[in-house]
Chains A and B, each alone.
Chain A
Amino acid sequence: NAGVMQNPRHLVRRRGQEARLRCSPMKGHSHVYWYRQLPEEGLKFMVYLQKENIIDESGMPKERFSAEFPKEGPSILRIQQVVRGDSAAYFCASSPVTGGQPQHFGDGTRLSIL
């Protein structure tokens, strides 16, 4: 079984541009979670989605950030008008049932803002 796949692995953007991060969950998994990690820190929860539904977005900034998990295709985390402070590693995890269960993580997208 393929694990959680994230792409790109590295993404460089200039301030003001848009960043799109993709996550394909493990086969059979319908729950996706996005986390953000700064250097030397733990992972901070951003958003939890099921297919076509946002379940919990309490960790996501109200402005510039959005997430979706369409019926077909990967989950997308979108950051508009990026700023230097958005530089971080963004991790996606998936699970087959409601959260709280062990989650399988992708290897992340490292976003750098110039």
Chain B
Amino acid sequence: TQLLEQSPQFLSIQEGENLTVYCNSSSVFSSLQWYRQEPGEGPVLLVTVVTGGEVKKLKRLTFQFGDARKDSSLHITAAQPGDTGLYLCAGADSSASKIIFGSGTRLSIRP
């Protein structure tokens, strides 16, 4: 069974600080996605990474896929209150018939 573990589970930091959240697995994934979910809403796709070592940037967010395609990280620079939410990583499973989600990192940015 492929599993994705996210850390930390909860993170509360001051506005303007930097942070990194991690998504790790012992399995190889053909692609990995990061989503953000706000209360009462469905997850919204932020990025998909496919190639080992790939780095993608989305404004103040930097996503990296590990060389072995088993792990990924999300780095936020100069966090803002609007970044508050649940961040989920998800990987395409070995059969590529579905995506498997990590347990999420709940991020809170204090003004």
Contact = CB atoms under 8 A, between A and B. Distances in A.
A43 B88 contact: yes
B44 interface: yes
A105 B44 contact: yes
Contacts of A106: 42
Interface stretch (B60-68, B71-79, B91-99): B91-99
Contact of A102 (B45, B96, B97, B104): B45
Interface in B72-111: 88, 90, 92-93, 95-104, 106
A34 to B, nearest CB: 10
Interface residues of A, number: 25
A83 B59 CA distance: 45
A100 B92 contact: yes
Contacts of B31: 100
Contact of A48 (B6, B98, B106): B98
Given A100-B30, A100-B92, A107 B40 contact: yes
Contact of B45 (A4, A35, A104, A107): A104
10 contacts: A4-B42, A56-B97, A91-B42, A98-B96, A98-B97, A100-B31, A100-B92, A100-B96, A106-B42, A107-B40
